[in-house]
Structure formats: structure tokens, C-alpha cells
Structure 1
Amino acid sequence: MDNKKYLYGASGHCKVIIDILQSNNEAVEAVFDDNPATDFTLGVPIISVKADIDFSEKKMLISIGNNNIRKRIAEGLGTAFYSAVHPKAIVSQYATIEVGSVIMAGAILNVESHIGKHCIINTGAVVEHDCLLADFVHLSPNVSLAGNVSVGEGSHVGIGATVIQGIKIGKWTVIGAGAVIIEDVPDYAVVVGNPGKIIKFKKNE
């Protein structure tokens, strides 16, 4: 196994992850991308995935914000994954973070919160005690989850949204920016407003 660290996806999200790793004195060897627009990002070389690459021997983190794409790539790479936690995040010693997830600056993970695989806990997001996030969840900047909230696979909670205690959010939902969630949210729902209301359902992913 190659112990060097690699990223997949040369997006703006990628630059944030490079900064997190460098803040932890960890180097990024290279970034892989399907269609690179440039040769470097923050001084890190970008390599087209059209090249003959054996990903099975590389430690990867998928630096793509879209939950659907991140899941597809994660399931297709067949490689080992690692996680990244910004040194200015506050993470309880009793919180758990699974592989492939990213915890950004100012985020708070309180006691016995659980972050699944390939999640994004964005800048300043708060995950209170006993919350459970399934795989491929994205909490946008300044989201606040009160205690005992669960969020299903692939759901995206928009910037500044607030979820009161004990709420269950289904899989592959979208919670709009600034929404206030005071009732459980079913699978595939799109919810906006204060209080949050379902405006439509997505097609099954």
C-alpha cells in the first residue's frame, strides 16, 4: 500500500481539503480528476484519470461536494480511504468519524455523535450529542443539529439550517438554506422554510 495521500476531484472543495491536510502537516501527493482544467491546484499536481492508474494501492479521499457523485466514485475506486479533520474543529473524544469524511474548521462534534463514511461536515457546522449521520451526508456551513438527530444516507442540509432535537431526516433529502426543521422528514423530500415544509420529492437515487 502506498502511504502517500491522494485526492479525487480538483474542485473548490478539493482546495479546502488540501488546506486541512497541510494544516495538519500532511502532504498531498496528487489530485486525480476526470477532466482537469489545469495542471496544479495550490501547488499540488493534478493527474487525469485517463492515465493508467492502479487506485487499489493508493490512500484516497474524494474531494467532491456532490453526494451522488461522491458515492459513485467511492463505490468504484476499490481503494483504501482516509479522513481529514481541521485542527480548529472541536471533536469530542467520544465522537466517531468513519473513513472518507471531512470535518472543516470551526465544526463541532459533541459527545457520542457518529459521522458515517464519506460525509462532509462543513465550516462551523454543529453536530450535538448522540446525533447519527449515515454515509455520504453533507452538512453545509453553519448548520446546527440539536441532540439525538439522525440524518439518512446522501442527504444534504443547506447552509444555516437548524434541526431541533430528536428529529429523523430520511435518506437523499434536501434541506434548504436557513430551513428550521421541527418535524421528521421522509426519504427523498425537499424541504424549505421556517418552519420547514415539503415542497416536492426527488426521484429515487
Structure 2
Amino acid sequence: MGRIVTERSASGPAPLIVIGAGGHAKVVIEAIRAQGLFEPVGCTDPNAGGARVLGVEIIGGDDQLDVMRADGVRHIFVALGDGRLRMRIGAALLQKGFVLPSVIHPAATISPSARIGRGVVVMAGAVINAEASIGDFAIVNTLASIDHDCVLGAGVHVAPRTALAGCVQLGEGVFLGVGAVVKPNIKIGDHAVVGAGGVVVRDLPPGIEAVGVPAKPRSKKPSSER
């Protein structure tokens, strides 16, 4: 594989590597391009060398990152759906000195008082309201609504069309399925999962899976990663 050209004009987008080459990476790549601050110049996937994702070359596994850094690429985005893996890889990249910017689609609405961590993606149509806080490596997916004073921990994923009322707290690695709804002032513990369409009206402890209307614990969350 030849060297990827990363030179740019002073006013042009900075080169960026995307970790991952699956469906989530496709949406992230389009959000990156829409934002206009960065240009994806390669994706990593050890199982798909030589292919492309939306025109972006898959450069190999993560062993290529040091090569890319030598070529002048400092920015990386971790586009993996697995929350634990996303956080682990993101933390390791920060330790290596890479910059992990957040990606905000221009069709999202973000309050100027909201706080967004590192490596976060906010997809098209999402709304994040006043003084909400979004932790590192979180995913706020398409058309999700995060109301005032919500706190989302690191690695949280709120799926498309989820809706959080005010002052909701989601612990590290929480996953809310498509169309889930959470009433005001609810706390959901670390790595809990709420199934698609679930309506959370009571606090949920860490590590459980809750489903239904209202959402009730179904079983212990499996120990394997999502």
C-alpha cells in the first residue's frame, strides 16, 4: 500500500483516520464530511484490507496508526458501535497523543451551554438542550432528543429517536434502544440496556436489561461486550 497523501491547504479540512469500517463508520464519515472540519483519509479494519468505505480506503489494522502519525495525521475518530471497545480504544489513543475530536452533524441542534466530551458523535436531527453534558465517546444518534441538564456518561449510546426528558442521568456505557423514552429525573446505572421502545419511569440499577412499557428488568446483562 502506498502512502496516503495528507497535505492540505491552510484553510482546508484536517486529515483524520476513522477506526472501524462498518455501518456506523459510514454514518460517521458522512457526518465528518458534512461538518467540514476534517477529511477522512483512511479507515482501519484488520479484516477488510484494500476495500473502501464511501470512497475512504481501508488501510489495514490499527498497526497502521503509527505509520499515519508519521505521515502527519494526528486526528482520529473511533467509529465502533461496541461501547466498551470504543472507550478502551479511545483511551489508548489519547495515551498515545492522538487528538480525538467530536463530530457534530450540522443538522443537529446543540445548546451553547451544553458540554460535549471528546470523541462524541452527534448525528443529524439530534437535539441537545441547555446545560446537558455528554461524556467522552458517546453516540447521540439520529433524531435523538436530550433535554436540559441531562448527564450522559462516557460511552453512552442513545439510539435513533430516543427521548430523554430533563435531568436524566445515564451512567457509563448505557445503551438506549431505538425509540426509548426516559421521564424526568431518572438515573440509569452503568452499562444498563433499555430495549427498543422502552419507557423508563423508575431508576434502573447498573448492568441490567430492561424492556417494555413501563420498562422492567428482564435479566442480568450478559458479561460479553455488545
Question: Given that residues 126 and 142 in structure 1 are in contact (C-alpha distance below 8 angstroms), is that contact kept between their aligned partners in structure 2?
Answer: yes
**Aligned pair 1:165/2:184, yes or no?**
yes
In percent, how many aligned pairs have the same letter? Answer: 37
Question: After superposition, what is the alpha-carbon deviation per residue over 1:34-61, rounded to whole angstroms, capped at 9, x for unaligned?
Answer: 3226521111111111655317662111
Secondary structure of the residue aligned to 1:21 is helix
Distance 1:20 1:182 in 2: 33
Distance 1:29 1:37 in 2: 14
Residue among 61, 64, 88 paired with 2:80: 64
**Aligned pair 1:28/2:44, yes or no?**
no
Q: Which moved more, 1:36-45 or 1:123-132?
A: 36-45
Name the structure 1 match of 2:103.
Answer: 84
Question: Given that residues 50 and 59 in structure 2 are in contact (C-alpha distance below 8 angstroms), is that contact kept between their aligned partners in structure 1?
Answer: no
Distance 1:131 1:202 in 2: 24
Distance 1:52 1:69 in 2: 18
Q: What RMSD over aligned residues (CA atoms) do the two structures have, in Å?
A: 1.8
1:187-198 → structure 2 map (5 Å cutoff): 187-198=206-217
Distance 2:171 2:222 in 1: 16
Secondary structure of the residue aligned to 1:194 is coil
Q: Tell me: CA distance 1:29–1:151, structure 2 relative to 1, closer, same or farther (3 Å).
A: same
Distance 2:159 2:62 in 1: 31
Question: Given that residues 115 and 133 in structure 1 are in contact (C-alpha distance below 8 angstroms), is that contact kept between their aligned partners in structure 2?
Answer: yes
Distance 2:63 2:81 in 1: 23
Question: Given that residues 162 and 179 in structure 1 are in contact (C-alpha distance below 8 angstroms), is that contact kept between their aligned partners in structure 2?
Answer: yes
Distance 2:111 2:157 in 1: 20
TM-score (norm 1): 0.93
Larger radius of gyration: 2
Residue among 177, 180, 184 paired with 2:199: 180
Q: Which moved more, 1:174-183 or 1:45-54?
A: 45-54
Secondary structure of the residue aligned to 1:82 is coil
Q: Which runs of 5+ in 1 are unaligned?
A: none
Question: Given that residues 50 and 60 in structure 2 are in contact (C-alpha distance below 8 angstroms), is that contact kept between their aligned partners in structure 1?
Answer: no
Q: Tell me: CA distance 1:197–1:20, structure 2 relative to 1, closer, same or farther (3 Å).
A: same
Question: After superposition, what is the alpha-carbon deviation per residue over 1:69-125, rounded to whole angstroms, capped at 9, x for unaligned?
Answer: 212222333332111000000100111111100000000000000000000000000
**Aligned pair 1:7/2:18, yes or no?**
yes
After the TM superposition, list the runs of 4 or more consecutive aligned residues in structure 1 that deviate by more than 4 angstroms. none
Q: Which moved more, 1:135-144 or 1:78-87?
A: 78-87
How many aligned positions are there? 204
Secondary structure of the residue aligned to 1:191 is strand
Question: Given that residues 113 and 128 in structure 1 are in contact (C-alpha distance below 8 angstroms), is that contact kept between their aligned partners in structure 2?
Answer: yes
One-letter code of the match for 1:188? G
Name the structure 1 match of 2:166.
Answer: 147
Question: Given that residues 17 and 77 in structure 2 are in contact (C-alpha distance below 8 angstroms), is that contact kept between their aligned partners in structure 1?
Answer: yes
Question: Given that residues 198 and 211 in structure 2 are in contact (C-alpha distance below 8 angstroms), is that contact kept between their aligned partners in structure 1?
Answer: yes
